[in-house]
Amino acid sequence: MKLQTIDPRTQHPVGDVLVESSHAQIDEAVSQSTHAFESWSITTGDERAAYLEALALGLEAHRDELVKLADLESALGLPRLNGELDRTCFQLRRFANLAKSGAPFQFTDDPAVAGGPPVGHPAIMKVRIPLGPVAVFAASNFPFAFSVLGGDTVSALAAGCTVVVKAHPAHPQLSVMTMKVIEQVQTALKRAHVITMVQGHSFEIGYQLIGHPSICAGAFTGSTKGGAALQAKAHTRVRPIPFYGELGSINPIVALHAGLNGQEKDMATTLAASIAMGCGQFCTSPGVVLLIDESEHVKSNDLFVSELTTALGAQTPHAMLTPGIRHAFDSGVDKFTQSGAKALVHEKVASFEPKPFLGQVSAKEFIAHSALHDEVFGPACLLVRCASVHEAVLALRAVGGSLTVTLWGAAEHNAKTTALVRAAAQIAGRVLFKGVPTGVAVSAGQQHGGPWPSSTAPMTTSVGDDALDRFLRPVALQDFPTWVAEHQGRPI
């Protein structure tokens, strides 16, 4: 099958026609990665840091051509894409520093205790070793930060794993150019095949990659359907492997009266901008807002809804990433209205740039219709009118799992805010008490992953320092000789 860049703004094909990776080429990429793992897995933190820092410099040296090509293939705009490239380089350097500081080589020294069990035990040192070659599935909506050199790739490299990237077909030319930058670095540092790449549209390519017997883990950012299919393949192999998928999320916001009172217009304006940001093509885009209609607060809620309707209706989102995503957006909005959502902002257009959607339902309707819990990837949001905090808690539970939940107006400690914080923490990996959920900091305390369907492994994160833990396996070394002890904090 041919690969062709489609300009999202015109829907016209541009650039060179590429060819999907063949089965033989996929096997070769994995074989090269497996061979490279033998030496990369025993590199020091300084050696890994030098490689990651060189990749950051390589991206920056080719910034202009990379960003222009990314804009051609994504329509995300030069300011956004320059910022995303900066974030990607920051992430590369952060994980370089983590490797240099010894984070991948942390160990537990458990000295021998004299006597018999259960008190007595031999000397044990628990270390962590890299899993092996990792299959990374690039995302469509972040051509740099969650793509070929995105967080999954970088954290796996810092952990001592090699990576086979499955490039996303939404930006094939950018992926090829990024791989050229990587190969320049690998040649200069004599680190051949630490990263290899395959690409193509067909599901068979992804299945072959995740099913390859030499692949030891998978990392994915994308749709729930696509992630679930790859997870099933990873878990039904002859030798099952871990699969770390960041999937769909509707990121509820609970708007308490204290969070709206007197600032209905400002909060509505902020929320409308967040819903439409990047044409709603963020994993943390707010898709549901719960309003609690206690009698004395209905007027404030109604004012907020009126302001949000006006503010969102005035938004002009840019073209979506691909025709397929655009079609899925329209289909998702149709499912909302067919499932009982009353449209407050809804204009069907044939243009490549969609119009935002805002719908409204009661909490009872929301809880009863599972279709209303699905992510609609794009500038769409549902308002859910709840009769009480208890009903809002039930609505949160109906969501099942989300990357984020945001609580506006929960500053006061009382029974209501306590119930909402507990409910939010049960379903989300990150709970916000201010602002909007769009934007995920790369930091030590970050948690980007929640219960299904937002991710396949809610105990892990795909963003932040702890992301490298996914690619390290603990091993207990018992009654170890002196030469092994001397490797504490370094690869053996």
User: What is the CATH classification number for the domain harbouring 369?
Assistant: 3.40.309.10
In tens, the pLDDT along 112-128 reads 999 999 999 999 999 99
**Residue written as token pair 């409308």:** 272
pLDDT, average across residues 385-407: 97
| Any domain includes 177 | yes
Judge if 263 and 242 occupy the same domain: no
For residue 192, the 8-state DSSP code is T
| Any domain includes 344 | yes
Judge if 463 and 379 occupy the same domain: no
Report the mean per-residue pLDDT for the chain.
96
Judge if 108 and 66 occupy the same domain: yes
Task: State the pLDDT confidence band at 38, using cuts at 50, 70 and 90.
Answer: very high
| Any domain includes 444 | no
| Any domain includes 165 | yes
In tens, the pLDDT along 145-156 reads 999 999 999 999
pLDDT, average across residues 355-370: 97
Number of compact structural domains in the chain: 2
Judge if 193 and 282 occupy the same domain: no
**Under 8 Å CB-to-CB from 41, ≥6 apart: which residues?**
129, 130, 132, 160, 161, 162, 491
| Any domain includes 450 | no
Judge if 325 and 468 occupy the same domain: no
pLDDT of residue 60: 98
Judge if 77 and 140 occupy the same domain: yes
Other beta carbons within 10 angstroms of residue 352's beta carbon come to 16
Task: State the pLDDT confidence band at 351, using cuts at 50, 70 and 90.
Answer: confident
For residue 103, the 8-state DSSP code is G
| Any domain includes 182 | yes
pLDDT, average across residues 315-342: 95
Judge if 27 and 64 occupy the same domain: yes
In tens, the pLDDT along 91-103 reads 999 999 999 999 9
Segment among 37-41, 200-204, 208-212, 423-427 with least mean pLDDT: 200-204
| Any domain includes 406 | yes
Cα 8 from chain centre: 22
CATH number of domain containing 70? 3.40.605.10
Judge if 311 and 167 occupy the same domain: no
Task: State the pLDDT confidence band at 396, using cuts at 50, 70 and 90.
Answer: very high
**Residue written as token pair 């490039």:** 167
pLDDT above 90 for 15: no
In tens, the pLDDT along 270-325 reads 999 999 999 999 999 999 999 999 988 999 999 999 999 999 999 999 999 999 99
Kindly state the tokens that stand for 11: 């829907």
Structural domain boundaries enclosing 9: 2-247+455-485
Catalytic residues: 246, 283
Judge if 232 and 257 occupy the same domain: no
pLDDT, average across residues 468-490: 92
Q: Is 412 exposed, middle or buried (0-12, 13-18, 19+ CB in 10 A)?
A: exposed
pLDDT of residue 19: 92
pLDDT above 90 for 2: no
pLDDT, average across residues 394-412: 97
Task: State the pLDDT confidence band at 240, using cuts at 50, 70 and 90.
Answer: very high
pLDDT of residue 486: 85
For residue 21, the 8-state DSSP code is P
**108-110 β-sheet, strand order:** 108-110, 124-130, 472-478
Strands 252-255 and 243-246: unpaired
pLDDT, average across residues 185-211: 96
| Any domain includes 449 | no
pLDDT, average across residues 212-235: 96
pLDDT of residue 489: 78
pLDDT above 90 for 71: yes
Judge if 103 and 194 occupy the same domain: yes
pLDDT of residue 139: 96
pLDDT, average across residues 374-392: 97
Is this prediction's pTM over 0.75? yes
pLDDT above 90 for 352: no
pLDDT, average across residues 237-241: 97
pLDDT above 80 for 1: no
What is the Cα–Cα distance from 17 to 2, expressed in whole angstroms?
Answer: 7
pLDDT of residue 468: 97
pLDDT of residue 365: 97
**380-386 β-sheet, strand order:** 342-345, 357-362, 380-386, 288-292, 252-255, 402-408, 428-432
pLDDT, average across residues 248-265: 95
- What percentage of the chain has pLDDT greater than the value 90? 94
Judge if 362 and 414 occupy the same domain: yes
Judge if 327 and 459 occupy the same domain: no
Beta bridge partners of 428: 402
pLDDT, average across residues 190-214: 95
Distances (CA, A) of 181 to 16, 19, 379: 18, 20, 34
pLDDT, average across residues 227-237: 96
Q: 15: left (phi > 0), else alpha (psi -120 to 50), else beta?
A: left
